[in-house]
Structure 1
C-alpha cells in the first residue's frame, strides 16, 4: 500500500512539474497579498519612489495595524534605519494621502507631536528611535525606503 502511495505521488509530481507557484522576488518578504523590499540604499523620497517603480512596485502603504506590526518586526531584524513609505501631503497641507492611489490615510501610526507640519515636511517616514512610528519629513532628505508590490498567488505554466 505504501509503495502505491509513493507511485501515485511521483506521478502527480511528474504531471505537475511544469507548474510552479509564483513567489516574491529574491530578497523580498511576503505578507498577505504583498511583497516588501527593505532598501540598503539611501535616496530622497522621489528617487525612492522611482526606484520602487523600477521593480514594478511602490513605496509601502501601511493601511492596518497588523501590517504596521509586521513591517516594524522586519525593520527590527534588518537594521535600525529610518524608512520612507508612500504617504505625502504636498498637494494639500495636512491632508495625507497614499502616493499610488491618492486615497486618504485611514490608518496612521504617528509619533509624538506628529505630523508637525514643519516647513516642507511633506513626505512620510518611519522613525527608528520611535519604534518606527511615523513622522513627516522633508522629501529631499536621503534615507532608506520600503517598496511594496502585489503578491500574485497563482500558478504559472512554464514551457
Structure 2
C-alpha cells in the first residue's frame, strides 16, 4: 500500500510537469504556466497589441522579479533586439499600467535614467543598449513584440 501511494505521487508530479509545459503551442516558450512568443516582425505598440489580440494573446505583463529575470535572460540568450512589453502610460503621464487591464505595474526594472519621457515616450520595452532593462519608447517606434498567454 505504501509503495503504491509513493508511485502515485511520483506519477502525479510528472503529469503536472507535463501539463504545465504542454500548454504551449509550437514556437511558444513555457515558463510558470504561461506561454511566451517573441514576434519576428517589428511593429508599433498598437499594431503589436492588435495582432496578438487576434491570436488570443497579449503583450507581456510582468508580474514579479522572477518572471522579469526569465524574460531578460531569454532575450539576452537569444540575442533578441528591443522588444515591447504591454506597459504604457498613454492614459495618464507617469502612471504605468498594463495595456488592456489598466492594472498598475507591481514591480519595475527601469534602466538608468528611465523613464525619461524623451519626446513623449509612453510605451515600454526591454532595451538592448541598457542590458535589457525597461525603457520608455515612442509608441510609434517599431520593436519586436513579446507576447504572453495563459
Q: Please give the root-mean-square deviation of Cα atoms over the aligned residues, in Å.
A: 1.4
Task: Give CA-to-partner distance per residue, 1:135-158, whole Å, 9 cap, x none.
Answer: 1110000111100000xxxxxxxx
Q: Residues of 1 paired with 2:140 and 2:112: CA distance?
A: 22
- Structure 1 residues without counterparts, runs of 5 or longer: 1-19, 151-159
Highest relative contact order (Cα 8 Å, sep 6+), 1 or 2?
1
Q: Which residue of 2 aligns with 1:47?
A: 47
Between the aligned partners of 2:61 and 2:33, the Cα distance in structure 1 is 12
State the match for 1:114 in structure 2: 114
Shift of residue 120, structure 1, vs aligned partner: 2.2
Structure of larger gyration radius: 1
* Higher percent of residues as helix: 2
Q: TM-score, normalised by structure 1?
A: 0.78
- Check if 1:73 corresponds to 2:73: yes
Runs of 4+ in 1 over 4 A off after TM superposition: none
Query: How far is the alpha carbon of 1:77 from its aligned partner?
Result: 2.4
Aligned residues: 131
Q: Find the aligned partners of 1:133 and 1:77 in 2 and give their Cα distance.
A: 15
Contact 2:42 2:143 in 1 (8 A): yes
